[in-house]
Amino acid sequence: MTSERRLRLFITARVVVTILFLASTIVLKLQDPEALDNTHFRGIVQLMVLSCVFSAVSLALVGRLQWRRSLSRLQVVWDILFVTMLLILTDGIASPYSFLYLLAIMSAGMLISRRDALYTAALCVILYGAMVDMQYYGMLSGLGLTPDAAHERGEVVVFYTLFLHLVGFVLAALASGYLSERAQVSEDALRISEVNYEELRCLHSTIVEHLESGLLTVTTAGGIRVFNPYLQRLTGLSQEEAYNRSLASLFPDLALNGAALVRPRRGEFSYRSASGDSRTIGYTTTPYRDTQGETAGQIVTLKDLTELKQMEQALKRSDRLAALGELSARMAHEIRNPLAAISGSVQLLTAQGGLPDQESRLLAIVTRESERLNGLITDFLAYARPRPPRLENVDLRQMLLDLRELLAADQRFRTVQIELVGPPMFLIRADRGQLHQVLLNLLHNAAEAMPEGGTVTVEMAREGDDGGSSATARIMVADQGCGIDDETMRHLFEPFWTTKTTGSGLGLATVYRIIEGHGGTIRVSRPRTGGTLVVVRLPMTEAES
């Protein structure tokens, strides 16, 4: 309790006691008019009223004055004077209210210090002793305090009374001072402890709120308690919505029960986020205990590993494709040489003429297939050993407008519309030919995914710093087709993997190598609304603006 609160409590208690004492005095006067003469009764009433007024003024000044210690001393002085006047008005040594001095001494010890309590005890002894002596010798008869009560007790009893009051006042001062100091030490320790706990609470909240991973706590019954902002963004649920919700209903593949509650676990599971994307979530669980040492639940940390898994797959794919490309490029050169000899020999035989129709048809088939095989080898060499991009400023929107006009004559785009979203001019630095190949391939795939027709939306936007080197160009190609199944999603960008009846399976693999050569990234996802979304990000520089 602070010193201000103690002082307020002390003054309020004095007001209550004064009012009760005033009420009891009035009741006594009404029941027994002879118990108090009118002069003493009026004096007591006036003293009580004055005490209430003084207390009210003091109470009003507590929160406004800076010198609260001086105000506390003033309260103690008033109490001593109040008790002394009350004793004079109630027959001095015969008054039963001398114990009120003890309350004044204890108040000094509790409000100020042990030394002030001893000073107060000394002052009470002086005032009480002076009053008793002056009463004994008839020096207070003018105030209505006769010496009869003192004379009836005799000198020995008077001295004994003074001695007992002296001992009682000193003991009260020592006890109240000691208790006050102990209480102050306890309050200081409690205040420090409260500050420490508040700091720990704030630190705990800050850590939990700013963790770059999910953190939740689960009771033994499976109810969620703590649910940090990372998980709120992942699931789309607030702390209030997730509180006490079953963990199994939120993460069906993360069931914690039985033995899972008493030992740590770690692993991964699949989860479809609030945006509809399929995510790979890694988790670690640790049991925590209550104050009795019993298992109270689990602390679960969650981390979205989707991007990390994609990076791992991309790295493995790059390593695998680099080795495959190096080996295949050498094999392609070795295949091309005999293929050229075969093709040349067939052409010489055809040029001589005079061959039967059956043999001419067979030679035509050999020539056609040789040309197809040569084209396939050419495409594969372009994939295996792509030339470094020759960067230049390219208006992406104008390139897409040209492609839209070019593809208008393609039968695949007869019922397919190409919608462009973005600024009227969107400059990026890229290899014009390679970027054209990328966009053409993506648009072809989107159209083939919508045999019944639909709309292909191409959105262009800038991400990151305004004008800074860390900015990226984002190109999103979205169709309204049937989407991609899990098997195809696992084999995307792999050479010679295709679900089409025709084609070499090098289209997306070549796109991947081109984007990689530009220092960009390409991601394919299945939105909740259906279809397929391809997101290409290319680095931008200040020179593009």
pLDDT tens, the chain, 545 aa long: 556 777 788 888 888 888 888 888 888 778 877 767 777 788 888 888 888 888 888 878 876 656 667 788 888 888 888 888 888 888 888 888 888 888 888 888 877 777 888 888 899 989 988 988 888 888 888 777 888 888 888 888 888 888 888 888 888 888 887 887 777 777 777 666 555 666 666 766 777 777 778 888 888 777 888 888 888 888 888 888 888 888 888 888 776 654 555 577 788 888 877 666 678 888 888 888 877 777 778 888 888 888 888 778 777 766 766 666 666 666 666 776 777 777 777 777 777 666 677 777 777 777 777 777 777 677 666 666 667 888 899 999 999 999 998 888 888 888 999 999 999 999 999 999 889 989 998 999 899 888 888 999 999 998 875 555 568 899 999 998 888 887 778 777 777 677 666 666 677 888 888 888 888 988 888 887 888 999 999 987 544 44
pLDDT confidence of residue 64: 67
Structure tokens at 290: 């209550």
Q: Give the residue ranges of DSSP H helices in 211-272.
A: 229-235, 239-242, 247-250
Q: Residue 523's beta-bridge partner residues? A: 535
Q: Cβ of 516: how many Cβ atoms within 10 Å?
A: 17
Tokens 């039963």: give the residue.
96
Q: Is 534 helix (H, G, I), strand (E, B) or coil?
A: strand
pLDDT at 542: 47
The Cα–Cα gap between 489 and 525 comes to: 9
State the residue for tokens 């005079």. 354
Residue 138 per-residue DSSP state: T
Residues in Cβ contact with 444 at an 8 Å cutoff, skipping those fewer than 6 apart: 412, 507
pTM tops 0.85, yes or no: no
Distance CA 237, CA 251 (A): 13
Q: Note the residue count of the chain.
A: 545
- What span, in angstroms and rounded, lies between the C-alpha atoms of 44 and 35? 13
The pLDDT of residue 280 is: 84
Cα separations in angstroms, 56 against 75, 160, 208: 12, 38, 49
Report the SS3 class of residue 280.
strand
Q: What SS3 class is residue 190?
A: helix
**C-alpha span between 479 and 485 (Å, rounded):** 15
pLDDT at res. 11: 82
Cα–Cα distance for residue pair 275/396, rounded to 1 Å: 28
Partners of 298 in beta bridges: 218, 287
**Burial of residue 60, with CB atoms counted within 10 A of its CB: 0-12 exposed, 13-18 middle, 19 or more buried:** exposed
Q: Are 526 and 483 in contact (CB under 8 A)?
A: yes
Q: What per-residue string of b and e applies to 63-96 under the rule 16 or more CB within 10 Å gives b? A: eeeeebeebbbebbebbbebbbbbbbbbbbbebe
pLDDT value of residue 191: 66
- Distances from the Cα of 409 to the Cαs of 203, 232, 446, 447, in angstroms? 65, 49, 16, 13
In terms of phi and psi (left: phi > 0; alpha: psi -120 to 50; beta: otherwise), the region of 64 is alpha
Question: Do 144 and 39 meet the contact criterion of CB atoms below 8 Å apart?
Answer: yes
The angle that helices 3-31 and 68-89 make with each other, rounded to 10 degrees, is 20
Q: Classify residue 505 as left (phi > 0), alpha (psi -120 to 50) or beta.
A: left
157 vs 151: CA distance, rounded Å: 10
Burial class (CB in 10 A: 0-12, 13-18, 19+), 333: exposed
Give the separation between CA 62 and CA 49, rounded to whole angstroms. 20
Cβ proximity of 132 and 161 under 8 Å = yes
| Distance, CA of 530 to chain centre | 33
